[in-house]
């Protein structure tokens, strides 16, 4: 439960330290005194959105801290243990907002994300706002209330997860199907291109080799004559000693006689020997070339035909001829990938059927649970409405199958609350039947029933009794008092009948010194409670009569269990 609330520089509150008791705590005060500001500040500590405009004028930041006893909150305690944030059965949430709009949060003194404190806050406090009866008109809210009361939220999450999984699978499947025609056209083009490249069967470096051979064949006559001339210069005519090689041999032989003439003669000898060797190597290369070169018109035609085919493919695919083998492999891999798309479609179709079946099973389980819950909650709401002075009101919960058979995150049915407020009238939607006051009472009855099943240790009602008065107001007080016997209840109220039943009574006050305004929350003792109740009874001047009435209300505010609140 909530033990302590500390507020600094939040709107009208400069500083507030508030100790809260178990049972029912009521907060009262004049209109505009700041009753709901305290709850807004608590919401900030619980992870609500921060606004730097809430910082009190003249301050550079606001700070809110809420301390909780986790003795009766195993879910929150387990959450802290799982994240190594536990502090021996206690918990403090702290939030700071600075003037520049920055917000920081801590859990038990350690930095935390906003989502973390929101997750934990949902396990600690359940807040019912003063405008909640308006949201009750929405079918989504009605579904949430039904599932919360029936404790079907874990099953609902599984249904939503199954729906999300099916939808993701369906989207991928539809995307693949939508591209099937494009893939088919692409596959045909790839098959044609691969057929051409396979027929070409170009080997690596084949084009370069053919280009060299084509040059040799195309210039065979000229090459043969040129090589023969150079060989003649190297070797002579075969009968004389006029060739380069024979001249170099004679020069080398002559140099042997000069070896003793010093370094220069030695170097010259070596250079002549080297020249002889290199000319001889050149002659061998030329001879080899001469042996390769032949005048072969048929081979030349074949080489040129092959090169023409290669060049044509190169231009067609707009890549260098040397890149054609790599292109062939790339196209082959793409074609295999397109073949795999058909297999993927088959896999997804099978998975989509399996996911739909899984969702159907979960949705059927959820629907059955909702059907049973609808009957129970309708009975309890009718009992509470009778207790609140609406004995003739007939309340029911109907489940209608969704028109769309596809797996939906909220299940297979639509939830709607129906009501008939007058005898003989046909039940209809809340928005078309209930007046403002009736809607407030119906909303309160539902909220109290939901809160009675809540796993959170603290439930807050912020002026949920708007539009209620007289005997009904007394019944509301009894309802909240009974609920406070099981959990901690905090109620902001303007009804003296409700305020009289609080075990702890806090009064909101607002002070102004002409320059600034400040709000505070003041715990009331017995006599101060009498004074506050007398004020709430509506007397412009507090008399002995209104004071006596207030004392009588306090004296008669003894706990009495209301119907439909069994645990």
Q: Quick one: 193 and 77 in the same domain?
A: no
Query: Of 337, 366, 394, which one is at a domain's C-terminal end?
Result: 337
Q: Quick one: 428 and 300 in the same domain?
A: no
Q: Quick one: 11 and 122 in the same domain?
A: yes
* Domain hosting residue 286, numbered range: 183-337
- Give the helix, strand, coil percentages of the chain, each rounded to 5: 55, 15, 25
Q: Quick one: 195 and 308 in the same domain?
A: yes
* Contact between 561 and 478 (Cβ < 8 Å): no
Q: Which two tokens stand for residue 211?
A: 């280009």
In a domain, 19, yes or no: yes
- What is the reported pLDDT for 340? 59
Q: Quick one: 333 and 188 in the same domain?
A: yes
Pairing mode, strands 61-69 and 13-19: unpaired
| Cα separation, 364 vs 348, whole angstroms | 24
In a domain, 349, yes or no: no
Q: Quick one: 502 and 428 in the same domain?
A: yes
- pLDDT per residue as tens, the chain (567 positions): 999 999 999 988 899 999 999 999 999 988 777 777 888 899 899 988 888 889 998 899 999 999 999 988 888 888 999 888 988 888 999 999 999 889 999 999 999 999 999 889 888 887 776 555 556 777 887 898 899 888 898 999 999 999 999 999 999 888 877 766 676 777 778 888 888 888 888 888 888 888 887 777 766 656 666 656 666 677 765 555 567 777 777 777 777 776 767 777 778 778 878 887 887 788 787 777 666 666 667 877 888 888 888 888 888 888 888 888 888 888 888 777 666 567 778 889 999 999 999 999 999 999 999 999 999 999 998 988 888 888 888 899 999 999 999 999 999 999 999 988 888 788 888 778 766 667 767 877 887 787 777 667 888 888 766 667 777 788 888 888 888 888 899 998 888 999 999 999 999 888 887 777 888 888 999 999 999 999 888 766 778 888 899 999 898 886 544 444 443
Query: Of 322, 337, 352, which one is at a domain's C-terminal end?
Result: 337
* Contact between 456 and 125 (Cβ < 8 Å): yes
In a domain, 382, yes or no: no
- What is the reported pLDDT for 436? 64
In a domain, 397, yes or no: no
* Contact between 151 and 453 (Cβ < 8 Å): yes
CATH of the domain at 92: 3.40.50.300
In a domain, 360, yes or no: no
Rg (CA), the chain: 47
Q: Quick one: 324 and 446 in the same domain?
A: no
Q: Quick one: 460 and 527 in the same domain?
A: yes
In a domain, 147, yes or no: no
Whether the full predicted model's pTM is greater than 0.75, yes or no, is no
Q: Quick one: 213 and 77 in the same domain?
A: no
Q: Quick one: 460 and 314 in the same domain?
A: no
Domain count, the chain: 2
In a domain, 523, yes or no: yes
Q: Quick one: 303 and 428 in the same domain?
A: no
* 496 to 71, 235, 287, 559: CA distances (angstroms): 32, 133, 124, 16
Query: Of 337, 370, 389, which one is at a domain's C-terminal end?
Result: 337
Would you say the C-alpha torsion 452, 562, 486, 443 has a positive or negative sign? positive
In a domain, 407, yes or no: no
Q: Quick one: 190 and 320 in the same domain?
A: yes
* Contact between 56 and 10 (Cβ < 8 Å): yes
């Amino acid at each position: 439960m909530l033990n302590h609330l500390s507020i600094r520089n939040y709107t009208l509150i400069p500083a507030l330290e508030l100790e809260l008791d178990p049972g029912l705590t009521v907060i009262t005060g004049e209109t505009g005194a700041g009753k709901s500001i305290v709850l807004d500040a608590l919401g900030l500590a619980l992870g609500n959105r921060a606004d730097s405009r809430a910082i009190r004028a003249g301050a550079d930041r606001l700070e809110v801290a809420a301390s909780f006893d986790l003795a009766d909150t195993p879910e929150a305690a387990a959450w802290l243990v799982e994240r190594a944030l536990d502090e021996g059965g206690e918990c403090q949430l702290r939030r700071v907002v600075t003037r520049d709009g920055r917000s920081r949060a801590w859990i038990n003194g350690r930095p935390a994300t906003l989502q973390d404190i929101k997750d934990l806050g949902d396990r600690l406090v359940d807040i019912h706002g003063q405008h909640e009866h308006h949201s009750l008109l929405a079918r989504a809210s009605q579904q949430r209330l039904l599932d919360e009361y029936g404790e079907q939220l874990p099953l609902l999450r599984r249904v939503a997860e199954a729906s999300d999984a099916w939808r993701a699978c369906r989207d991928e499947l539809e995307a693949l199907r939508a591209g099937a025609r494009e893939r088919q056209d692409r596959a045909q083009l790839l098959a044609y291109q691969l057929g051409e490249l396979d027929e070409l069967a170009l080997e690596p470096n084949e084009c370069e080799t053919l280009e060299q051979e084509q040059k040799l064949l195309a210039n065979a006559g000229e090459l043969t004559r040129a090589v023969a001339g150079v060989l003649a210069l190297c070797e002579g005519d075969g009968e004389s000693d006029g060739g380069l090689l024979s001249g170099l041999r004679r020069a080398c032989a002559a140099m042997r006689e000069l070896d003793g003439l010093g370094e220069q003669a030695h170097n010259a000898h070596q250079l002549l020997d080297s020249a002889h060797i290199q000319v001889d190597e050149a002659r061998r290369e030329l001879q080899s070339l001469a042996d390769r070169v032949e005048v072969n018109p048929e081979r030349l035609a074949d080489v040129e035909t092959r090169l023409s085919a290669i060049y044509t493919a190169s231009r067609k695919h707009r890549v260098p001829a040397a890149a054609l083998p790599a292109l062939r492999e790339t196209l082959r891999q793409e074609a295999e990938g397109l073949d795999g798309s058909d297999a993927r479609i088959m896999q997804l179709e099978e998975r989509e059927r399996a996911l739909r079946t899984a969702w159907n099973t979960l949705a059927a389980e959820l629907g059955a649970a909702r059907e049973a819950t609808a009957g129970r909650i309708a009975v309890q709401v009718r009992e509470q409405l009778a207790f609140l002075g609406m004995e003739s009101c007939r309340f029911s919960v109907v489940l209608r199958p969704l028109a769309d058979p596809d797996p939906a995150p909220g299940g297979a049915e639509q939830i709607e609350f129906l009501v008939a407020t007058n005898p003989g009238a046909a039940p209809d939607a809340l928005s078309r039947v209930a007046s403002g006051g009736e809607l407030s009472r119906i909303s309160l009855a539902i909220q109290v029933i939901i809160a009675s099943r809540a796993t959170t240790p603290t439930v807050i009602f912020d002026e949920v009794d708007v539009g209620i008065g007289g005997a009904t107001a007394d019944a509301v007080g009894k309802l909240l008092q009974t609920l406070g016997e099981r959990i901690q209840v905090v109620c902001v109220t303007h009804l003296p009948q409700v305020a009289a039943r609080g075990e702890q009574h806090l009064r909101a006050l607002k002070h102004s010194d002409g320059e600034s305004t400040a709000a505070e929350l003041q715990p009331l003792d017995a006599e101060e409670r009498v004074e506050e109740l007398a004020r709430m009874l509506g007397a412009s001047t507090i008399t002995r009569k209104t004071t006596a009435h207030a004392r009588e209300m306090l004296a008669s505010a003894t706990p009495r269990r209301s119907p439909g609140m069994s645990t």
